[in-house]
Structure 1
């Protein structure tokens, strides 16, 4: 049999009963004849003591600014504790297992503390343990630089660890276990009729993650896509089939995952602000769009939904970046407004590529629901609309219904 990488998130490890379910899943996979590499997140979520945010609370009351290098050292402890606990429980069940830190697993990263990227995986040590018949339990979310500094991989880092190990080890598949039944047609918390999508292409899932879906990090999907390793997203606590993520079928013999819908999901991102910068200031010297965008980028302010005209630049930012953006624009002498209280609602699907009328359908659906659209943006796989945050739920439900995504 082949090799399977199984990743378990913090919610799957939160208490002893949950951890027993995880152990039974791993042992069952081993019993089927597979080699298994397990990737774990930190145990539970805040305020649990060993969660990432729980560990950061240990230094939250410090008056001095937190050092990114030392924050990485502290945060990496959560996944290491988790790996040791799971390896111990596996051995208790008679399954030979060993725990490894990200560094011991050979995960080499860039030196960007708190948001490092994986450069390569030196997997010889993992292969040695697998050759001895051991289950290898790797601490996710972390790695080590060329100079030996411990780093963390940012949000979704354990997903990224699992995907990178799956590619390095030529795994048959990567299984991502979480507390939902797979990737859904919308967030069921705001669209109760949302259903699980059984099969999706890598590109669809990347687009969905970028547009606000939070089941898996887009960086992990991109790594798996490059290595042609399928991802299976499943619920730790149920026997639901979950979602299989792979390559759309084609003449190259790729894994057959067909996109059979015009739109596969509705995603949303709240907490946005709309920025309007005047480009025609009369006698006053205005900064150019180039100056505005470069200065915001240099201050780590990400922008989206960009509309440029000779008279103004219109775009969105996170509300949390409002103070930074205001400071940057004031330093440029710009005439601008920043208005909070917006959300982005997106229809995502590879099936819309080259199909006329999708934008018309979206505008009609939102108009019929009484939702005003403030901006739009589109790509080959998505169309996004900026709406008031109080209209976000109505907009998501309207699009979900209009494209026939309800159960």
Structure 2
């Protein structure tokens, strides 16, 4: 049995007209002889009546003390509503449909309410419905604990549902449908001439998601990579072939199209709302360790880390600044925090060991006197910290310097 998993986001099911487009995408795959599993998000976005944030707001409108467990129970309703609404449209056309919650679909999670991790997926909960010829619609973004408590998977959780089901069911591929034609070389709202990326590997798209691009959830990419599951990012509202995501190597060969062979970079991203932290701390390895442990205990994630004998420099999300300062005050440390920063990242699996990449970055930004406050790198990325008001200009300059507009 050839199984295809299709995931449709909130904008894809937000109107009757768009839901009809979704139905057309589903039936096109079903009518070619595939078994189809559909994962749906809640209808619409914040402000619309059945959107996840709207449901969450109902509970928190008058009190901020609603428990995460109760919030998960409430927020899971959005995906159930969209699942049943979509099922009714398919049933009206004569298709057999089975609607399952995440729990009914066999998705077992831990008990981290609001941001649960999937522990396992029982494929046998879905396979009988497929064998009977049903289109199976699964409510995304949700699962349940061993005790049967409903959990949600955090932002972008429906993507995670889709790839987890795809791996468990040994699907041919997963299609992630959204309102854009695919993954782009940069945010088109920032770089007007950004291009669609036709093919990309797991590592690159994971870095894009981690570094600020709103393309697909990092957890979903990790799961797909673990299962070597091909993923396609496509547009519900068009017939564009979209972006294909798969392993960096396939049968020993890098499966890039000829369009990408001459490019070092795949994409450029940026993430705002970052603060740079300077801690003046003389060499004291024990105190270093204690400080890092204390930051971890209050769930502060540090990034772009540079440790020297006399100072420690790193970045945090600005929203965590208050918690950070409380820890640093407890340690009686001298420190400075620079707010209003943005991390601009170039991404490409071919940049490792290539001379002149950083020189190109520095020269491009120097054209507009954009100062690099700090930098960090990995095997496939180089990140530069700049002032937030210069970030969009920096992205455009780098996009042009590395010829991503061609």
TM normalised by structure 2 equals 0.96
- 1:13-92 correspondence to structure 2 within 5 Å: 13-63=13-63, 65-92=65-92
Please show how residues 256-335 of structure 1 align to structure 2 within 5 Å.
Answer: 256-257=255-256, 260=261, 261-280=263-282, 288-335=287-334
What corresponds to 1:372 in structure 2? 371
Report the Cα distance in structure 2 between the residues aligned to 1:286 and 1:341, rounded to whole angstroms. 30
CA distance in 2, matches of 1:289, 1:386: 23
Aligned to 2:184: 184
* Residue 394 to residue 231, structure 1, CA distance change in 2 (3 Å): same
Equivalent-residue separation in structure 2 for 1:292 and 1:344 (angstroms): 24
Structure 2 unaligned residues grouped into runs of 5+: none
Q: Which runs of 4+ in 1 moved over 6 A?
A: none
| Contact 1:279 1:286 survives alignment (8 Å) | no
Quick one: distance in 1 between partners of 2:133 and 2:126? 11
- The alpha-carbon deviation at position 168 of structure 1 amounts to 0.5
**1-structure distance, mates of 2:329, 2:52:** 36
Q: In the TM superposition, what is the alpha-carbon distance from 1:334 to its structure 2 partner?
A: 1.2
* Cα displacement string for residues 120-172 of structure 1 (whole angstroms, at most 9, x for unaligned residues): 10121210000000000000000011111111101111000000000001100
Distance 2:167 2:286 in 1: 46
Range with bigger deviation, 321-330 or 102-111: 321-330
Displacement after TM superposition at 1:354 (Å): 1.8
Do 1:103 and 1:150's aligned partners in 2 also have CA atoms closer than 8 Å? yes
Residue of structure 2 equivalent to 1:226: 226
Q: Which moved more, 1:49-58 or 1:255-264?
A: 255-264
1:149 aligns with 2:124: no
How many aligned residue pairs are there?
403
**Which residue of the partner structure matches residue 246 of structure 2?**
246
Secondary structure of the equivalent of 2:119?
strand
1:331-389 deviation per Cα after TM superposition (whole angstroms, max 9, x unaligned): 11111112210000000000102212211111111112211000000000000000000
1:398 aligns with 2:390: no
Match of 2:164 in 1: 164
Per the alignment, residue 349 of structure 1 pairs with 348
Root-mean-square deviation (CA), in Å? Answer: 1.6
Tell me the SS of whatever aligns to 2:350.
helix
3-state DSSP of counterpart to 1:352: coil
CA distance in 1, matches of 2:160, 2:226: 13
Which residue of structure 2 lines up, in the alignment, with residue 336 of structure 1? 335
Whether contact under 8 Å (1:245, 1:257) holds in the other structure is: no
Partner SS for 1:288: helix
Distance in 1 between residues matched to 2:256 and 2:73, nearest whole Å: 40
C-alpha displacement of 1:286: 11
Q: 1:206 to 1:64 in 2, by over 3 A?
A: closer
- Which runs of no fewer than 5 residues in structure 1 stay unpaired? none
Contact 1:102–1:144, Cα closer than 8 Å, also in 2: yes
Q: CA separation in 1, counterparts of 2:96 and 2:47? A: 32
What is the alpha-carbon distance in structure 1 between the residues aligned to residue 61 and residue 184 of structure 2?
A: 39
Would the aligned equivalents of 1:287 and 1:333 in 2 still touch at CA under 8 Å? no
Shift of residue 280 of structure 1? 3.0
